[in-house]
């Protein structure tokens, strides 16, 4: 059983992230949402705090901490601005993790040390137009040419696609054996033929750029293969287990922000001569919101604890991701309702929270996929 008693280091990370989020990230969140400006300067500071390599050992430039510390920090950042949390989540959960566990010594020196310190920003490129939930169907091809590989294809839904320095790209090296032929490659920005396209015009998360990428005869040296040839699908799925914990932490942050703003507003807003918070219906809404947030927090911390302990956490990660993303949407929607007409305006943060929350049910495995994962695990575990 996991404990809710945090270590001194975990408590310090939590408090540091909370203070930084409130003082540095939150003040410009509305403006970034309107302009879509990528938070480059903020991410530089995040890197200086060690939050872009939280789980990377110190020998590679990281902070050398655990998943619990990571989710505590990410939750606070998402609470202030979920758009800023996206590149932090991708960097830690996916890119850093992949290089740490599957990268050669050369790749760790070449990329991981720079990623962990925040000098580099990383991106994860798996999805394609015809391969979203079913990554086995990717069509981007990689063909051997001497000591190089030549990649051709098209990727989409790449977070931080315009601002990354190195991309983890999955391509098919042997279509005859389907997903067992998928391989992971490290591709640097500005590589000839590697072209990020226009930024997607999204419902929410406006300060996080999401793009498609065209690959036309992109030459990648053999040394930039991550793991082994044909190991890419396995690497991608293993990484997503951690990625789902990150999305769950983001979702929790959004839900906490929606709840707290609703409570403050309900105390200040007068309706029929008394504070909105004194009305029983409002109290019921707040109670339901608080209960859901507390339950999501337990699931997120449980998944993080299991990952840190080395235990199987596939089911826990999916449960945390599914439940936290669901309640993030429910709580944010209820927050808008509590705010009434004001909740529908950009002046009040809950409008942004509601828009930002939606994608948490979609990326890094839709809610439908999480239900399938959970069901399969239950069928294996229970005789």
Which residues belong to the active site? Answer: 364
Interior/surface letters 279-315, b for 16+ CB within 10 angstroms, e for the rest: eeebeebbeebbebbeebbebbbbbbbbbbeeeebbb
User: The tokens of 250 are what?
Assistant: 């983001």
CA distance 227 to 187: 14
CA distance 188 to 15: 35
Give the three-state DSSP class for 147: coil
Q: Map tokens 């705090």 to a residue.
A: 49
**C-alpha triplet 94, 175, 369: angle, nearest 5°:** 45
Handedness of CA 330, 335, 338, 340 (dihedral sign): negative
The closest alpha carbon to 246, from 370, 2, 67, belongs to 67
CB 195 within 8 A of CB 131: no
- Beta 122-125 vs 166-172: how paired, if at all? parallel
Give the three-state DSSP class for 308: helix
Helices (H) and strands (E) in the chain, counts: 13, 10
CA distance 383 to 378: 9
Q: What is the C-alpha end-to-end distance of the chain, expressed in Å?
A: 22
């Amino acid at each position: 059983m996991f404990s809710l008693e945090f270590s001194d280091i975990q408590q310090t990370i939590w408090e540091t992230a909370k203070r930084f989020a409130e003082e540095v990230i939150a003040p410009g969140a509305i403006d970034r949402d309107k302009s879509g400006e990528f938070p480059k300067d903020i991410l530089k500071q995040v890197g200086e705090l060690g939050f872009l390599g939280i789980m990377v050992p110190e020998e590679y430039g990281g902070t050398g901490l655990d998943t619990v510390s990571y989710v505590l920090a990410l939750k606070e950042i998402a609470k202030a601005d979920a758009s800023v949390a996206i590149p932090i989540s991708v960097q830690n959960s996916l890119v850093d993790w992949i290089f740490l566990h599957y990268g050669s010594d050369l790749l760790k020196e070449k990329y991981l040390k720079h990623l962990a310190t925040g000098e580099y920003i990383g991106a994860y490129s798996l999805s394609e137009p015809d391969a979203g939930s079913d990554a086995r169907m990717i069509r981007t091809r990689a063909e051997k040419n001497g000591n190089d590989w030549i990649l051709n294809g098209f990727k989409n839904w790449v977070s931080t696609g315009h601002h990354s320095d190195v991309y983890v790209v999955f391509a098919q090296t042997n279509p005859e054996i389907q997903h067992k032929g998928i391989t992971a490659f490290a591709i640097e920005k500005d590589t000839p033929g590697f072209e990020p396209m226009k930024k997607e015009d999204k419902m929410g998360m406006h300060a996080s750029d999401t793009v498609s990428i065209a690959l036309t005869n992109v030459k990648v040296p053999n040394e930039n293969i991550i793991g082994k040839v044909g190991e890419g699908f396995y690497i991608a799925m293993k990484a997503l287990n951690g990625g789902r914990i990150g999305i769950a932490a983001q979702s929790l942050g959004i839900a906490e922000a929606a709840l707290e703003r609703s409570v403050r507003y309900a105390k200040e807003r007068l309706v029929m001569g008394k504070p909105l918070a004194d009305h029983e219906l409002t109290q019921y809404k707040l109670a339901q919101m608080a209960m859901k947030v507390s339950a999501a927090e337990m699931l997120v911390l449980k998944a993080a604890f299991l990952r840190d302990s080395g235990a199987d956490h596939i089911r826990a990660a999916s449960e945390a991701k599914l439940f936290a993303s669901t309640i993030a949407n429910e709580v944010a929607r209820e927050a808008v309702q509590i705010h009434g007409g004001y909740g529908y305006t950009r002046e009040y943060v809950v409008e942004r929270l509601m828009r930002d929350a939606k994608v948490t049910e979609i990326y890094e495995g839709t809610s439908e996929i999480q239900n399938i994962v959970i069901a399969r695990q239950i069928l294996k575990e229970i005789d």
